[in-house]
Structure 1
Amino acid sequence: MNSTIKILPLLFLGISQVAFSQIKEEKLILDKKREPEVKKIEKKKTSIEKEKNYPPEEKSQVPVNYDITNVPAASDFKTSTIQGEDISPKFDAEYQNNYFQLGMGNYGKILADGNISTTLENKMEVGADLHYLSTSGLKKEYDWTSKQSSANLGAYLTSYGDLGKFSINADYGLNDYNYYGIYALQPSADVDLQQKVNRFKVNGYYDFYSNEILNDVRVKSSFLSDRFGAKETQAAILLNLSKHHLMIPNLNDIRLNADLGLGLETLKSTFDLLDKNTSNVFNTTLSPKLSFFKDKSYLMIGSDFSFYNGKNNSLALPEETKTNKIYWFPKAEVQIATSDEFKFYGGVDGGLKINSYSELLQENPYLVSDQQLRATETKYRLYFGLRGDIDQNIKYDINAGFAKMNDILFFKANDLFNHELTLDRPAYDFANTFSAAYDNGTVSEVRGSVQYFPLANLALDGELGFAKYKLDRYENIFNKPLIKASLGAKYTMLDKKLNLGAKAIFASDMTTNSFSINDGVTVPPTYVSTENLNDKVGGYADLNLSAEYKVHKNFSIFALGNNLLNTKYQTFKAYKVLGAQVLGGVKITF
């Protein structure tokens, strides 16, 4: 029986998994979470009572150890990403926080990655992260260069005081890559397709141990520039006020939490190319909320108010456009818990999402450096679902929703900007870039996630998502799959010396627009382009495996396999990913 139990997880790992192998997006997780991680299945934010982080020892009945939260060795860097999501396996194995690792693989991959930190006598934690990853790209697929590299350097400080925890981190990132997805023209091999993006972020966070009035304060700021003169500055401050554990007279079995969120956000974006778009946004949010609890059932009622002030200008606009508007969004959620196994919930919410050039590049790095930026308004979203925890072995969440939205964001392929009959043109002018597109409409969604823990050293998870858009102007939404799914596994053995991980990601095909370009018969001769509004980018199944073996307490070897099905699918039109990739290396901890 025991041998059967051991064989099953190994079979699973051999069959399954994962990841999206887009050349550009592989990078280190520099913003290592300094707070306890919340599993995806429980990520919906509510006013449900929760224990605050890091209570001071004198206020705790049980002494608290202020040790650095362990970050598993195998998840120090991203093996692959999809839209910025980390899909590398996370293990619970113990390891030292100071390390350096070096790896090499096919496609000219070179990885250098390190972290160093220390905890001082006053319980202050200081540290730094360093990461570099490069690849020579798809030399056999394209005549021109598709090499890419990314580098990150971060530093952080966390201090534990009498009233709360203070954290600050600074991060600099450089992405150097090429607009290599050319399908409509045939330039020479030495064509310059380079794009380079610099980002600098500073974030601060103060978390009060008690929920008495002051809950937490967050300050975020970021600065971006790219090779073509784009500049963007973004800053936000968020303050959460709360009064929890209030008792209602004559209803001692019902508890009340009162919360108030206050936020200020500013965004300034300028571009030097083409229409020279500029955007200047200042947004204030106010979010009051009342939550009533009885056992594990609750009712939350609230609202979101946004006071939006925006200015947009470009060479294509006859005059500056200004928007001053107050938005109101409903907020309500109810959960009826018949047991731990079955919790029925439903609600309504909405909100205003300020879209920045920096965030758009995280989703699609192949944007032209001139974007019209608008805020996406979710007027309302109705949803309902079922979630539960079965014997602490299975966690699940199944939900469906319907939303009415304005300015839904997606990406549209660009035509040639200059139709002159020449191949001596800028990197972004080969019909190889994208721009943000917007439309009003509705979206219907069905999502499900499950986590299964059959053994103490084995964890399995799966997610499935369906999203159907119906737009007012466009017949189809571009570059968004109808169905996305993932399967994952984590397995430790040999007294946690060997960590195995697996993840598989699947997606259906996507509709996109594209262009065919021919020499024209105009006078003077120019390129003539024809747009196809119903082109297809095929779906994919991507498999990723990882393994790490601790040879000594200070020395480990690791191996990662990406896109092991060796399918050169496309992330966006003509942007093929790397084929099967194998990277191996060594890690020294100290």
Structure 2
Amino acid sequence: MNLRIQNIFLLGMLVSSTAVFSQIKEEKLILDRKREPEVKKIEKKKTSVEAEKNYPPKEKKTQDSLNLKYNITNVPAASDFKTSTIQGEDISPKFDASYQDNYFQIGMGNFGKILADGNISTTLENDIQVGADLHFLSTKGLTKEYDWTSKQNTGNFGLYLNSYGDKGKINVNADYGLNDYNYYGIYALKPASDIDIKQKTNRFKVNGYYDFYSNEILNDIRIKSSFLGDQFDAKETQAEILLNLAKHGVELPVNDMMFNADLGINLETVKSEFSLLNENSSNFLNATLSPKMTFFKGKSYLMIGSDFSFLNAKNSNNILAEEVKNNKTYWFPKAELQFAATDEFKFYAGVEGGLKMNTYANMLEENPYLVSDQELRATETKYKGYIGLRGDVSQMIKYDVSAGYGKMNDIMFFRANGLFNDAFTLDRAPYDFANTFSAVYDNGTVSEVKGTLQFFPLANLVLDAEMYFAKYDLDNYEHIYNKPLLHASLGGKYFLLGKKLHLGAKAIFGSDKTTNSFSFTESGTSPNLFVSEENTDDKVGGFADLNLSAEYKVHKNFSIFALGNNLLNTNYQTFKGYKVLGAQFLGGVKISF
């Protein structure tokens, strides 16, 4: 009886604490995260190499302990929701502490939602594991909000291989992704219900990773490649190879100090071609050398390094008379000092910089409503200084709070497009209703404050919180568009009844975003034209989103699950004109075999 009362009390605490923060963003589903922060995985899905019983050896553990990051970027909190907005970015509801082999699940819900998800694998001779992973989500969209279609289908199919050898482990995976959706965010015109606003992207990726058990010289090597195409004949090819050379665990004759030496070699190429409008094309080759030295004693360390990058860029479009070529060499500082007073209080400070390649494929992951013609540049972080405090309190509380300030060139953000054709007609291309966005760039500074917290009050209860604040000061634009000033979340996972019942909750908050927008009137001249007026200080309102989920294992091979997304039932907007689904309910079954 007391156990039942305790379970009811803890469940109530989890739901009520989440409801306090229920003024929040995008509808999201729970994804698995391990209890401890993860280190350098090449994929977050099942395609990752599983931990081997006797791996890593002692010297590998030493290296990984120095690479642990508790910041918001590469250690998400214990629950990670993926958006289930109308654009269909959600993932399957997996609740276990580790990913499960050999299962299939299917679910249905309102808004015409259909979810199918599965994984199958087998182990061959010599401990070689092969498998396949499938995910599909479909929704009819907001049929009552828009006269035109807003439905979407998205899916992924992957094959993978994991193998453990005498000297290292290997992972190879291939993945095909489809996103079939519509540019439905029309706010300034009133077209007919049967207009064509369709967009579709296909992306194929192949990745390989080999990790040597020993850190003697050759540490690990990664190869990545992808090809993307879309409805409007855009084509983008990416390839990257990363090689890490290392000599770790060198004992120094000074107060039990140790020394690590590393050299990272990275070669990346991106080729993009567009067939619409200005017909932009880009060809980038970026080579980077990253030497660093780390001196450490216990959990305190000093890391000193640099990044040397050489970027070869070629850009052209149908406006330029010829191809523009640019070769430039960069140097970026890299250093970090951590003083571990205790496990509970670790003070750190550092400086970093680098180049980030802005590709069409990566842009679409952040904003799928881009017109299929983009100018691509690399964002340069000249320097970013930061200071913070992190710690682990009795294995119950993990936290990281930091603040930083940096100088950047070619900061990328998204600006709304007006009409490409000014003719007074509604017979238009799918992207020509002021319903798309283009990347723009500016130089400036950024001030950041970020924090993460994980709390493990019980063995079967995990609570987490995240917060990220970023203020940009640009040289040319008065505002940065479509980036919130503040983003925060609060969530939890609770397992009870002998782990037969899994409960999850997540509340997400985002502040207002500044954007530009357009209004149109008929010119009255002959021939008739649209006359546009641009508002450069429009607002996309902040959001509040509450999500709950549950799974009950009826039998060891059979489970039922239920998901509730955007339970506050608000049609907030991700971008101008793009409302998300209201309150969503999805239920289904999972069969394990």
How many Å separate the matches in 2 of 1:482 and 1:98? 42
Residues 381/410 of structure 1: CA separation in 2 closer, same or farther (3 Å cut): same
Q: 1:167 aligns with which of 147, 171, 175?
A: 171
Q: Which residue of 1 aligns with 2:122?
A: 118
Q: Which residue of 2 aligns with 1:227?
A: 231
Counterparts of 2:477 and 2:5 in 1: how far apart (Å)?
Answer: 54
Q: Following the alignment from structure 2 to structure 1, what is the Cα–Cα distance between the partners of residues 90 and 191?
A: 35
1:234-383 residue pairs with structure 2 within 5 A? 234-248=238-252, 250-383=253-386
2:554 is aligned to: 551
Alignment CA distance shift 1:436-1:331 (3 Å): same
Q: Equivalent residue for 1:465?
A: 468
- 1:398-443, Cα deviation, whole Å (9 max, x unpaired): 1000010000010000010000111111000000000001000000
> Is the contact made by 2:30 and 2:504 (CA closer than 8 Å) also made in structure 1?
no
Tell me what 2:197 maps to.
193
> Please, which of 93, 98, 101 is the counterpart of residue 97 of structure 1?
101
1:537 Cα offset (Å):
0.2
Task: Flag the 1:460–1:83 CA change in 2: closer, same or farther, 3 A.
Answer: farther
Match of 1:439 in 2: 442
Matched letter for residue 435 of structure 1 = S
The code of the aligned residue for 1:285 comes to T
How far apart are residue 329 of structure 1 and its match?
0.1
Instruction: Deviation per CA, 1:309-334: give whole Å up to 9, x if none.
Output: 00000012232211100000000000
Aligned equivalent of 1:528, options 531, 534, 546: 531
Q: Which amino acid aligns with 2:118?
A: G
In 2, are the aligned partners of 1:233 and 1:267 still within 8 Å (CA)? yes
Partner Cα separation in structure 1 for residue 256 and residue 89 of structure 2: 41
In the TM superposition, what is the alpha-carbon distance from 1:119 to its structure 2 partner?
Answer: 1.4
CA distance in 2, matches of 1:548, 1:28: 11
Offset at residue 57 of structure 1 (A): 5.8
Is the alpha carbon distance of 1:272 and 1:3 closer, same or farther for their aligned partners in structure 2, counting shifts above 3 Å?
Answer: same
**Alpha-carbon deviation of 1:514?**
0.2
**Match for 1:206 among 205, 210, 220?**
210
Specify the code of the residue in structure 2 equivalent to 1:194: K
Q: How far 1:11 sits from its partner (Å)? A: 1.7
Paired letter, 1:129: D
Equivalent position of 1:141 in the other structure? 145
Amino acid paired to 1:11: G
Output one character per residue of 1:9-50: Cα deviation in whole Å (capped at 9) or x when no partner: 31233232678547xxx8998xx99xx88638x899xxxxxx
Shift of 1:377: 0.2
Q: Distance in 2 between matches of 1:526 and 1:79?
A: 39
**Aligned 8 A contact 1:149 1:175 in 2:** yes
CA distance in structure 1 between the partners assigned to 2:311 and 2:80 by the alignment? 39
Aligned-partner Cα distance in 1 for 2:57–2:234: 50
Q: In 1, distance between residues paired with 2:309 and 2:205?
A: 25
Shift of 1:252: 4.6
Cα deviation per residue 1:514-543 (whole Å; 9 max; x = unaligned)? 000111133321000000000000000111
Q: Please give the alpha-carbon distance, in whole angstroms, between the structure 2 residues aligned to 1:126 and 1:144.
A: 43
CA contact (8 A) 2:503 2:549 kept: yes
TM-score where L is the length of structure 2:
0.90
1:152 maps to: 156
Aligned position for 2:482: 479
**CA drift at 1:575:** 0.1
Change (3 A) 1:238 1:371: same
Query: 3-state DSSP class of the match of 1:360?
Result: helix
- Alpha-carbon distance in 2 for matches of 1:313, 1:454: 57
Give, in angstroms, the shift of residue 7 of structure 1. 3.8
Q: CA RMSD in A?
A: 2.8
**Which consecutive residues of structure 1, in runs of 5 or more, have no partner in the other structure?**
45-51, 62-73
Q: Return closer, same or farther for 1:159/1:566 CA change in 2, 3 Å cut-off.
A: same
Q: What residue identity is the alignment partner of 2:483?
A: K
Mark the runs of 5 or more structure 2 residues left unpaired by the alignment. 42-48, 59-77
Structure 2: distance between partners of 1:407 and 1:94 = 40
Out of 158, 177, 182, the position equivalent to 2:181 is 177
Change over 3 Å in CA distance of 1:232–1:185 after alignment to 2: same
Secondary structure at 1:437 match in 2:
strand
How far apart in 2 are the matches of 1:213 and 1:576?
52
Aligned mates of 1:421, 1:85 — CA distance in 2? 35
Q: Secondary structure at the match of 2:420?
A: coil
- Residue 396 of structure 2 is aligned to residue 393 of structure 1: yes
Contact 1:56 1:209 in 2 (8 A): no
- TM-score norm. by structure 1 comes to 0.90
More deviation, 162-171/12-21: 12-21
Aligned letter for 1:310? A
**Are 1:6 and 2:7 matched, yes or no?**
yes
* Cα distance in 2 between the residues matched to 1:393 and 1:98: 33
AA at the equivalent of 1:151: G
Closer, same or farther: CA 518–124 of 1 in aligned 2, 3 Å: same
SS at match of 1:6: helix
Label 1:479 to 1:577 Cα distance change in 2 as closer, same or farther (>3 A).
same
Which secondary structure state, in structure 1, belongs to the residue aligned with residue 125 of structure 2? Answer: coil
Aligned mates of 1:433, 1:28 — CA distance in 2 = 30
User: Do the aligned residues in 2 keep the contact of 1:280 with 1:312 (CA within 8 Å)?
Assistant: yes
Secondary structure class of the residue paired with 1:251: coil
CA distance in 2, matches of 1:480, 1:224: 25
